[in-house]
Structure 1
Amino acid sequence: MSAHIPHTPARVGVLGGGRMGSGIAHAFLLAGSDVTVVERDQDAASAAEARIAESVDRSLSRGFDGNAAELRSRLTVATDAAAFGLHGLVIEAVPEDLDLKVEALARVEAQLASDAVIASNTSSIPLARLAEALERPERLIGLHFFNPVPASALVEIVVGAQTSGELPAMARGWVEALGKTPITVADSPGFASSRLGVAIALEAIRMVEDGVASAADIDLAMELGYRHPTGPLKTTDIVGLDVRLGIAEQLERELGPRFAPPRLLRDMVAEGHLGRKSGRGFYEWND
């Protein structure tokens, strides 16, 4: 008997075409799915289409076996969630804000068949909070992708208390079909990856704040001493200091003062020093 070969759904929707949403769309396109990305307006949709096309071209230039025209033909961008009507899986990838996600998920569910799956790319908001917006909370699961999606090997599958019993296994198959490694965690604030990653990052920021060592030396301690591929402060720059701050505030509300953001983090965000995307964080970024 031949081994089971995992595959992605034939049609996958992505709500939000920013850095994360575009990366998720890119991954499913390369795995063989038709992908629809829905953005808030035509300008944002056009920007998402260009971002995904550039990412696909980069993969092809690095040796991925595919045809640019064929890959692009399987991508649709739109501004109305009604475009998700025939999709078996839609992944929400809007910014990490509870009210925004709740509104987005309810809007998506209204367009889908009763057996379609809705996944959230949330990195810290409990699924139980998001499920309150849905008429079919059993069809909600967490698929937490990591930035940058094309290069990241990990996807965190988050199982809510109401998540249907067959969904975690289905999700593992999708993740494996993307060429990534799944881990499965129970619904809890910050899940596994954000909770651990933010805890280390906040302590590293406090060490900079206290003058213990430079950002570069703190990062080297983790890279060379603990085999982390990138230190916690450089990772914070890549993720975005504003994103780190939002997750820390969420975890502080849920888990208490040990996740309270350091003053240095708040000050840097207020000054617009958000990391790589702004050109300056704990490091200077030229490009």
Structure 2
Amino acid sequence: VCVTDKLEDLANCDLIIESVAEDLATKKELFAALDKVVKPSCILSTNTSTLPVIEMAKVTNRPDKVCGIHFFNPAVLMPLVEVVRPVTASDDTIALANDFVKACAKDAVQVVDRAGFIVNALLFPYLNNAIAMLEAGTASMEDIDVAMKGGCNFPMGPFALLDLVGLDTSMAILDALYAEFKSSNLEPRPMLKKLVGEGKLGRKTKQGFYNY
């Protein structure tokens, strides 16, 4: 394993997976820079959890060699990887992405390039609804978490999960889902926006829905 802070050191890589901030402009800037540095055969992939992969592909001269390879947090423990295919990706690119996932001893699922892919497109409406339920006073967040763990056999409740993911990341995912699907169920709830605005982002800041 080598650590570097120079893009030029990646020139001979066969596959690159970016995992910078979940911000489309930041990712596009990185893809454009990488495209100029790496060899023509290199596959450029993104670990985005919801952003459109095609937008990253379009800033390169190799759109056929761009795809999504989305690991779940924590990657060392979570067995699933979403292999995301934008319309520009070639069969060879997707095949090589799947070979890489298999070599990592992970389970790959195939999905087209739509906001949220499979997991987050199903998960985040549920998380947003949990916040709406708390806002409405239906139950406390502690009881909502206990109910979903005990009633659905989930490993953690929605509020503990939101804090683990990061409230800023969660809001960015909901924003991306809302931008594509325009469902009111996907618009970030006021309580989430308030916490993010206060800098309470979950476990990483020691405060979110819970205190840590």
Distance, in Å, in 2 between the alignment partners of 1:117 and 1:131 is 11
Matches within 5 A, 1:129-140: 129-140=55-66
Mean Cα displacement is larger for which, 199-208 or 211-220? 211-220
SS of equivalent residue, structure 1 residue 130: helix
Tell me the residue number matched to 1:214: 140
Q: Does 2:119 match 1:188?
A: no
Tell me the residue number matched to 1:32: none
For 1:167, which of 93, 97, 113 is the aligned residue? 93
Q: Does 2:189 match 1:265?
A: no
The one-letter code sitting in structure 1 at the alignment partner of 2:188 is: P
Deviations 1:96-117 (A, max 9, x none): 1111100001111111111111
Structure-1-length-normalised TM-score: 0.71
Rate the CA distance shift 1:153–1:114 in 2: closer, same or farther, 3 A.
same
SS of equivalent residue, structure 1 residue 77: coil
Following TM superposition, by how much is the alpha carbon of 1:193 offset from its aligned partner in structure 2, in angstroms?
A: 1.2
Q: Does 2:73 match 1:179?
A: no
Distance, in Å, in 1 between the alignment partners of 2:149 and 2:95 is 34
Distance, in Å, in 1 between the alignment partners of 2:44 and 2:31 is 8
Q: Does 2:110 match 1:158?
A: no
The one-letter code sitting in structure 1 at the alignment partner of 2:98 is: R
For 2:168, which of 242, 248, 261 is the aligned residue? 242
Mean Cα displacement is larger for which, 128-137 or 235-244? 128-137
For 2:203, which of 258, 273, 276 is the aligned residue? 276
Deviations 1:35-60 (A, max 9, x none): xxxxxxxxxxxxxxxxxxxxxxxxxx
Matches within 5 A, 1:20-59: none
Percent identity for Structure 1 against Structure 2: 36
Distance, in Å, in 1 between the alignment partners of 2:138 and 2:31 is 44
SS of equivalent residue, structure 1 residue 110: helix
Matches within 5 A, 1:143-154: 143-154=69-80
The one-letter code sitting in structure 2 at the alignment partner of 1:103 is: E
Deviations 1:183-223 (A, max 9, x none): 11011111111111111110011111111112122122222
Deviations 1:140-179 (A, max 9, x none): 0101111111111111110110111122232222112212
Tell me the residue number matched to 2:16: 90
Distance, in Å, in 1 between the alignment partners of 2:61 and 2:93 is 17
The one-letter code sitting in structure 1 at the alignment partner of 2:64 is: E
Distance, in Å, in 2 between the alignment partners of 1:214 and 1:273 is 19
Structure 2: give runs of 5+ residues left out of the alignment: none
The one-letter code sitting in structure 1 at the alignment partner of 2:93 is: L
Tell me the residue number matched to 1:251: 177
**Runs (4+) of structure 1 moved beyond 6 Å?**
none
- What RMSD, in angstroms, separates the aligned Cα atoms of the two structures? 1.2
SS of equivalent residue, structure 1 residue 281: coil
Distance, in Å, in 1 between the alignment partners of 2:186 and 2:149 is 23
The one-letter code sitting in structure 2 at the alignment partner of 1:175 is: V
Distance, in Å, in 1 between the alignment partners of 2:167 and 2:8 is 34
Tell me the residue number matched to 1:197: 123
SS of equivalent residue, structure 1 residue 141: strand
Following TM superposition, by how much is the alpha carbon of 1:130 offset from its aligned partner in structure 2, in angstroms?
A: 1.4
